Amino acid sequence: MKPETLLWAGVGTYFTVIGVTYMLVGGEPIGVALLLMATAIGGLIAGWAWDWGRKHGTRAEDRNDADVTDVQGVVGVYSTASLRPITMAIGVTAIVLGLALGSWMTIGGVAIVASQALLLVYDADT
Amino acid sequence: MTALDPDRSAEPLGGVDHDQLVSVDDVLAGGDDGGDDGSGGDEHGGHDEGLPKTITGWLTTTDHKALGIAYAITSLIFLAIGGSLAGVIRAELAEPGEQFVSEQLYNGVFTIHGSVMVYLFAVPFGFALANYLVPLQIGAPDLAFPRLNAFSYWLYVFGGLIMLLGFAADGGAAAFGWFAYPPLSGAGASPGLGADMWIVAIILTGTSGTLTAINVIATITMLRAPGMTLFRMPIMTWNLLVTSFMVLLAFPVLSGALFMLQLDRLFGFRFYDPTDGGSPILWQHLFWFFGHPEVYIVALPFFGVVTEIFPVFARRPVFGYKGLVLATLTIGALSTSVWAHHMFVTGEVLVVFFALTSALIAVPTGVKVFNWIGSMWGGSISFEAPMKFSIGFLVTFVAGGVTGVILASPTLDYHLSDSYFVVAHFHYVMGGTVIFALFAAIYFWWPKVTGKKLSERLATWQFWLLMIGFNTTFFFMHFLGRDGMPRRVPDYAPVDNFELWNRIASFGYLILVASVVPFVIAIVKSFRAPVTEGADPWEANSLEWATSSPPPEHNFDWLPPIRSERPVFDLRWINHDEVGNPDVAEAWVDREGIADNWRPLAAELAGDPPTTTEGDQP
Amino acid sequence: MSLDALLAGLDPPVTSQADETEWVWDIYLYLAIGVAAFIAVLVLYVIIRFRRRDGDELPPQKQYNVPVELAYTIIPLLIIGALFAITVVTVQAIEEIDDDPDLVVEVTAAQWQWQFDYPDSGVSVIGSGEEFPELVLPANSSVTFELQSLDVIHSFWITAFRFKRDIIPGSPGRFSVDIEDVAGYYPNAGVCAEYCGLAHGTMRFEVRILETDEFADWIAQQQAEGSQG
């Protein structure tokens, strides 16, 4: 994870530099806040990558001389179909659209999202 | 910028022993005949491609390839809708005066035209590429979060529908332009449900984009095949990674700004209300902090497309790979520091700071252009459809790029901002280049997705109609803008050259429409044609060509060793030490230790089945 | 010889600031055309010279050429640096505010009409339904415009000035120009450039620049009409 950590740390550093520069040359606070927020997002990924690397050590993916045989077995479990994404999307759409059309719609949307989130728990059969 | 791998320069090979070239099809078929190209295709035609077969299947699929195709089709439908709306604009502007539509409808039409093209066509087509290609290019079985991916897709579809349904709302669709400046977009100046629906639609598509970006970043970080280090990823994947990060920065800001706007409109908040302490400038900062990265969010995936295509058809490695990666990162970084150049004329921003960052972004962009030319330099270029469209992209992009440098100067922007010069500029960089690269991508990866090639003859027709139509439509808008024609007007002063250039532009639109016809015919013909292409019809470089066409469910039954950013090229030339990467041959030797390994070296083609190590299912 | 022959609809520049802009425009324009032409020729050369001819020969696979890569990074950087320097100098000149101008004009924008007030003389010009209002200015004088909007964002663009400025409600702005000896009538020069709703397309005004003495007569005439009405 070292290259990933460095990559995102670099991104975070860039935004710190540009954010502080912008502040020093007299930039308005909105832009300063947004640039520093960008630092935080870059830092978030960098921090996560660093922590993961610390806990799990070097991966085969980090080595130049790795081959598929170094990581045999199951890569992960990937569902091929699920009804939840579309129903959740309907629910979220209803919640947001309800802001414009009326609270009954938002309430309905919340109900859909809640029920589908619950069903998602049982949706692990891939 | 030294080479990651040993210098692989080689003299042209006069006497290549073609029997010694390894084709992916033979490897996939188990290698029972030695390196003869093109025999593998039909053997793989009948295999299960893993795409859903039923409507329920498509509605519930979480497969990245199915969703990638769905994204592509949906965004092309939105392209058709946005293009039709442009027809209304061009019809109205063909003559001075008001002919076809009312002012209110005209304003709604250009607002939805811009919104559809930016939010519902260009960005989602990039996500189509990310969905379909990222797992294939890094040797992964799917995106990291398949269900989240499907959820993103459906949010995008529902958001798009809501935006279009705005036309049916009482008072018509949103009519405040695609950047929705308050107070015009506030409840006072733009009452009506259509505006609310527009805001809801963008919030939904923005959320969809954010989630997809997280998905892509997680996938690229965690699911690369062993050997696929960061600096062996195809430039396409690099570009999608940088794009995703920019999405992650930009889209939440947009969603937040829109929520604030909605609160203003519906619940009497005053974030943007100047009469009561709010600030319209706040919106502009928030919007353009999204809006400028957005331009590159649109463009970078398409830069990636042509970076894949130039080397393949020139039979060269991508020139200056590391420089390109660096340029992409620099564009990503700078593009989030230039937003206020859209606000030069407000007189309330640091023009010098933003003039500098805006001008600087031309440098990494120029590096990319020269790297593309360098990838062709000294090559052996053939001009199949993807290459034609990529060269069309290159020319169009340079034309749009140089006007971008002009607009980056506040001195000149004070005259040109909000004029047709800007319209011409961004239709070159966000319209023309996207369209050319999009069709390059479709013609290039169509054999991978379907196992069939599209008609070259029709592609040539389409290319020339598009080239002529696009430039006829948009080039003279530069003159219009410089002459003083503002954007977003249904009418203009009846000055001679205004009439002339507008009439030419409207005529060009008809040619653009005509360019769609050969494409549609080519697609229809392709559906009726049998599967003829093997895994690697273009003799390409990256990993997606190492699996059958179309790829099976979860993508790979087998992976070649990855020792450079061109694993399929290295495999093809594995028997030629002077070309092939010596590390690859070494990796094959290492694989021999595995019991059921199979080695493509011509002398030892044994016919054993390939190893299955990646993407297995429980 | 100028490309502006193609731009017959554009009025000539009427302020010294606009002259600055024109000079910068020419530099940028010819450079842009030059760069685009250079790359077009390069692309044309490459696709002709390196087209695939007869065989399957694999071309050289050299992937890096650091001196060349540095060259096409540094040369554009230098060009951009020069352009930036030109921009900084000129934009500062253009943005300079004249606190003691010969004339102050207050511009008030509202959906979808303009109002021009001359506070020194109490004259006021307001556009009416069908007719575009006329902004009358004296030649050979410095003018400072004070901008305000009553509703949404508008943009005050006089094409003969090569300049526009957004008018943001709640945040009045101003800018100064030095009008040259250019008396004349510019019927298409005044535009609202920021989209401002329904009738944005017809929110225009005409510009008339008078000799100094004629301008004084005009002011007097307006004052007389104002006192009568």
Best of C27, C54, C58 to mutate (most B CBs within 10 Å, chain B): C58
Chain B, nearest residue to C48 by Cα: B381
Please state which of the ranges B135-149, B338-352, C127-141 shows the lowest mean pLDDT: C127-141
Chain B, nearest residue to C93 by Cα: B411
The answer to whether position B547 is within a domain reads no
Using CB atoms, list chains with 3+ pairs below 8 Å to chain C: B
B285 and B172 both lie in a single domain: yes
Residue C54: pLDDT band by 50, 70, 90 thresholds? confident
Residue B51: pLDDT band by 50, 70, 90 thresholds? confident
Q: To the nearest whole percent, how much of chain B has pLDDT over 90?
A: 73
B569 and B477 both lie in a single domain: no
Residue A18 · residue B337 · CB < 8 Å: yes
> What's the CATH code of the domain at B158?
1.20.210.10
Give the dihedral of Cα atoms B392, B396, B398, B402; nearest 10 deg: 170
The more confident residue out of B163 and A79 is B163
Domain boundaries C103-228, CATH class: mainly beta
The answer to whether position B6 is within a domain reads no
Q: To the nearest whole percent, how much of chain C has pLDDT over 90?
A: 80
Examine the pLDDT at C212 and tell me if it is beyond 60.
yes
**Extents of the domains making up chain C:** 3-95, 103-228
Residue B36: per-residue pLDDT:
39
Closest partner residue to B13 (CB to CB) among C58, C95, C159 is C58
Residue A57: per-residue pLDDT:
85
- Classified as helix, coil or strand, C204 is strand
**pLDDT per position as a tens digit, B434-458:** 999 999 999 999 999 999 999 999 9
The answer to whether position B135 is within a domain reads yes
**pLDDT per position as a tens digit, A43-71:** 999 999 999 999 988 888 888 888 877 77
Examine the pLDDT at B19 and tell me if it is beyond 80.
no
Examine the pLDDT at B613 and tell me if it is beyond 50.
no
What's the average model confidence in pLDDT over A77-87? 84
B59 and B24 both lie in a single domain: no
Using CA atoms, how far apart are residues C90 and B371, in angstroms rounded to an integer?
34
B452 and B576 both lie in a single domain: no
What's the average model confidence in pLDDT over B99-128? 94
The more confident residue out of B32 and B345 is B345
Instruction: Identify the DSSP state of B537.
Output: T
Instruction: Inspect the interface and report whether the beta carbons of B147 and A30 lie closer than 8 Å.
Output: no
DSSP string, B7-35: P------TT--GGG---HHHHHHT--SSS
The CATH topology of domain C3-95 is Helix Hairpins (1.10.287)
B34 and B60 both lie in a single domain: no
Instruction: Inspect the interface and report whether the beta carbons of B63 and A26 lie closer than 8 Å.
Output: no
Residue ranges of E strands in C50-183:
103-110, 113-118, 123-126, 134-138, 141-149, 154-158, 163-167, 173-179
Mean per-residue pLDDT over chain B, rounded: 88
B428 and B563 both lie in a single domain: no
Closest partner residue to A69 (CB to CB) among B158, B229, B591 is B591
Residue B22: per-residue pLDDT:
82
Instruction: Identify the DSSP state of B419.
Output: B
The answer to whether position B611 is within a domain reads no
Q: Which B residues, 222 through 261, put their C-beta within 8 Å of a C-beta on chain A?
A: 223-231, 245, 248-249, 253
Please list every residue in chain A whose beta carbon sits closer than 8 Å to the beta carbon of residue B142.
Answer: 78
Q: How far is CA A5 from the centre of its chain?
A: 16
Residue B501 · residue B480 · CB < 8 Å: yes
Residue B369: per-residue pLDDT:
96
Residue B576: per-residue pLDDT:
78
The answer to whether position B138 is within a domain reads yes
**pLDDT per position as a tens digit, B166-204:** 999 888 899 999 999 999 999 988 888 999 999 999 999
The answer to whether position B614 is within a domain reads no
Examine the pLDDT at B598 and tell me if it is beyond 90.
no
Instruction: Inspect the interface and report whether the beta carbons of B415 and C159 lie closer than 8 Å.
Output: yes
Return the structure tokens found at C164.
């526009």
B235 and B96 both lie in a single domain: yes
B33 and B64 both lie in a single domain: no
B336 in A contact zone (CB under 8 Å): yes
B513 and B560 both lie in a single domain: no
B25 and B59 both lie in a single domain: no
What's the average model confidence in pLDDT over C73-101? 94
What residue numbers bound the domain in which B597 lies? 18-46+555-604
Say how many domains are in chain B: 2
Examine the pLDDT at C199 and tell me if it is beyond 50.
yes
Residue B574: per-residue pLDDT:
82
The answer to whether position B566 is within a domain reads yes
What's the average model confidence in pLDDT over C5-28? 87
Is chain C in touch with chain A: ≥3 Cβ pairs within 8 A? no
**pLDDT per position as a tens digit, B238-255:** 999 999 999 999 999 999
Best of B249, B253, B342 to mutate (most A CBs within 10 Å, chain A): B249
Mean per-residue pLDDT over chain C, rounded: 91
Please list every residue in chain B whose beta carbon sits closer than 8 Å to the beta carbon of residue A10.
Answer: 329
Residue C129: per-residue pLDDT:
72
B212 and B248 both lie in a single domain: yes
Among A122, A22, C82, residue whose Cα is nearest residue B285 = A22
Examine the pLDDT at A25 and tell me if it is beyond 90.
yes
What's the average model confidence in pLDDT over B470-478? 96
Give the number of other Cβ atoms within 10 Å of residue B84's Cβ: 13
The answer to whether position B130 is within a domain reads yes
- Classified as helix, coil or strand, C23 is helix
Mean per-residue pLDDT over chain A, rounded: 89
Please state which of the ranges B194-198, B573-577, C148-152 shows the lowest mean pLDDT: B573-577
Residue B2: pLDDT band by 50, 70, 90 thresholds? very low
